[in-house]
Chain A
Amino acid sequence: MSASNYATERETTEGRVFNVTGGDWDEVVSGVDPINEGRIVVNMGPQHPSTHGVLRLILELEGETVREARSVVGYLHTGIEKNLEYRNWVQGSTFVTRMDYLSPLFNETAYSLAVEKLLGIEEQITERATTIRVLMMELNRISSHLVWLATTAMELGAINMMLYGFREREYILEIFELITGLRMNHAYVRPGGVAQDVPDEAIVKIRDFLKLMPKRLKEYEDLLSGQPIWLERTQNVAVLDVTGCVALGVTGPVLRSAGLAWDLRKTMPYCGYETYEFDVPTHSDGDVWGRYLVRNAEIRESLKLVEQALDRLKPGPVMVADKKIAWPAQLAIGVDGMGNSLEHVAKIMGQSMESLIHHFKLVTEGFRVPPGQVYVGVESPRGELGVHAVSDGGTRPYRVHYREPSFVNLQALPAMAEGGLIADVIAGGASLDPVMGGCDR
């Protein structure tokens, strides 16, 4: 391949345009006249390994300094909110789980809490179902933070951390697979409870994980925390203080890294979080380093929560008793994942007419939700995940809007990046932990 078609250049009315594919920056630099063309505009993404999916950044550079940064989103918009309006309330779980694919159980739980609030059945949710939700959410928080650590470390040059982070995350996904049947996109938390009880093997596996994870976390910290390159790349980089965070609506670890201990699990508790023992880690620097420390500390707090949730798991039902809401299809875990429970099929076909009616009505028609609107916020790994659900009294959502922390937090990128170096755009953007599936929905 000749050098000329590696980084092609052409003249346009807007100026000279280079197509850069990587490793060919020298040609761009030598092609630009440093005196007359002081600023160059760089399009980073939407397909770029360091932008966490299809995020496009438009950077105006002066040398290596970013003068202006703008982010462009929407490349992964799939119309999930619109699609929800054409499916019944239970089917909604299968859609919302696909929004933020790194924290599916938070999407499902927030959705279920909103539907339950609309139905007015919050009091009827069984203790076991709520405890399982907490257990699953906290495991999910750990897996999400591990992906954050893995990808951020990779983007800043620590490839081995990427491998370790994904290795432990895979362990959690195996636990999820054991419980829900799927590694991702579980549709496990449903309005009224959860789809399936936790099998005993999963409890054993989670206990093993609780023993393993603190050691592994120590290894990550040994690897990174004292590492001069890691410190250089993260300390005093992409600083955003509390005022900036609140004005821009940034919540979650980024806000806590600036010093404000705002965590919905503590400040506006749901799912009984007020009865658990855990701390909200904060840091005061508001930089990437602070966000790294806060997320690591949150993994530890989540481990504490998982342990407490396991200790609380008492036998009992995992769905509301109301047969007009509780999805009746009992599932069995077969060799190929989930399947209908033969026992349940035998019961509805052979013994109980009532069960058959409930099953038929719920599956074909769904339940009706009294008209009204609610807003429910939960603390996802990225910040406040809010669900605004509106019902018109029918069997389908009239409107569901997700207040996605990835979407809202990404607005802070220009504030973090402008005036800094282009290399720090990567660190700053990664520290927001945006997931484009959630951002674009």
Chain B
Amino acid sequence: MTDDKPTTGGVPVPVTPAGATSGAPAEFPPAAPAGRGMFGNQGTGDVSGFGGLVRQHRAIEDSPRPYGGYFDEVRDALEEAYPAFGEAIEKVVVDRGELTLHIRPERIAEVCQVMRDDPALRFELCSSVSGVDYLGADARRLHVVYQLTSMTYRRQVRLEAAVSVEEPHLPSVTAVYPTADWQERETYDMFGVVFDGHPALTRILMPDDWEGHPQRKDYPLGGVPVEYKGAEIPPPDKRRSYQ
């Protein structure tokens, strides 16, 4: 079983090999525990030296044109309809046949408005709003992810806006997509992202007096050890795990 105490005497302490993390700081994938060592156990148990291995993360960059499919059309239509495109769009990423536009957080409501109303875009339906916490990636670790669906053209696009924990504010899109109401509340509840202009930004799944935002990566899972036939099984986040 692992424990959290730092190791002393004989057992190698995980250290980053020189050069293993060189290069641009990875925005994505995040510097989560995955990718460090072979078994994810920090401290005891590993005498192989594999515990020091760090998988190198490559920063996600702008995808090169042409993207293929309808992605080029969507980008060009947005660029034409939205004068502040160059300033508002941070990156355009095409991965696994999906288009992601990284938007500056303060521009998200404007972009959604254009995405919905422009005749060449027509993303009428906001399928999903949720969050992802890329803890350790960079200062703007809380990402809000919007899945938009165009029923007219049968297209899908993902918008992503990143905010920091210290300044977790971005405009609400409820005026554009009323369906985002509860989904923004859930994102607030789970990640602590504050949607300015939301009509009633309160907790929705957790109790009203709950402290903390459970889906953040630095929020523990919790749980109690369970005894079974004399052996004690630790809670899921305390078990030895393979990353």
Contacts and interface: CB of A to CB of B under 8 A. Distances in A.
Nearest to B242: A365
Nearest to A73: B204
B151 interface: yes
Given A249-B125, A364-B242, A408-B183, A393 B145 contact: no
B147 A392 contact: no
B158 interface: yes
B85 interface: no
A401 B55 contact: no
A247 B181 CA distance: 11
Interface stretch (B65-73, B74-82, B127-135): B127-135
A268 interface: yes
B229 interface: no
B205 interface: yes
Interface stretch (B6-14, B24-32, B162-170): B24-32
Interface in A76-108: 77, 79, 81-83, 85-88
Nearest to B147: A375
A270 interface: no
Interface string B223-235: 0000000000000
Contact of B206 (A77, A117, A410): A77
A299 to B, nearest CB: 25
Contacts of B205: 73-74, 77, 440-441
A396 B239 CA distance: 14
B215 A82 contact: yes
A118 B96 contact: yes
B181 A411 contact: yes
Contacts of A83: 221, 236
A374 B35 CA distance: 20
Interface in B174-225: 177-183, 186, 203-207, 214-215, 221
A: contact size bracket: 35 or more
Given A374-B98, A398-B132, A408 B154 contact: no
Contacts of A338: none
Contact of A393 (B34, B149, B183, B214): B34
Central interface residue in B55, B236, B241, by most chain A CB within 10 Å:
B241
B23 to A, nearest CB: 15
Contacts of B125: 246, 249, 251
Interface string A240-269: 000000111111000000001010000110
Interface string A105-134: 000000000000110100000000000000
A81 B215 contact: yes
A403 B215 CA distance: 15
Contacts of A364: 242
A433 interface: no
Nearest to B97: A117
B128 A386 contact: yes
Central interface residue in A87, A120, A392, A393, by most chain B CB within 10 Å:
A392
Contact of B179 (A392, A399, A408): A408
A248 B179 contact: yes
A154 to B, nearest CB: 27
Nearest to B203: A74
A247 B215 contact: no
Contacts of A371: 28-29, 57
B172 interface: no
A86 B221 contact: yes
A253 B214 CA distance: 33
Contacts of B42: none
A366 B29 CA distance: 19
B187 to A, nearest CB: 9
Contacts of B96: 117-118, 120, 372, 374
Nearest to B181: A411
Contact of A247 (B179, B186, B242, B243): B179
Contacts of B100: 373
A375 B155 CA distance: 13
Interface string A323-348: 00000000000000000000000000
B138 interface: no
Contacts of B215: 81-82, 399
A388 interface: yes
A247 B178 CA distance: 6
B179 A366 contact: no
B127 A386 contact: yes
B156 A375 contact: yes
A377 interface: yes
Contact of A392 (B34, B97, B156, B242): B34
B83 to A, nearest CB: 26
A268 B242 contact: no
Interface string A7-30: 000000000000000000000000
B243 A394 contact: yes
A390 interface: yes
B126 interface: yes
8 contacts: A249-B178, A373-B145, A388-B145, A392-B34, A395-B243, A407-B183, A408-B183, A441-B205
Given A249-B180, A407-B182, 4 more contacts: A364-B242, A366-B242, A373-B98, A374-B96
Interface of B: 28-30, 32-35, 55, 57, 95-98, 100, 124-128, 130-133, 145, 147, 149, 151, 154, 156, 158, 177-183, 186, 203-207, 214-215, 221, 236-237, 241-243
Minimum-distance CB pairs A-B, first 6: A249-B179, A394-B34, A371-B29, A403-B128, A365-B242, A401-B130
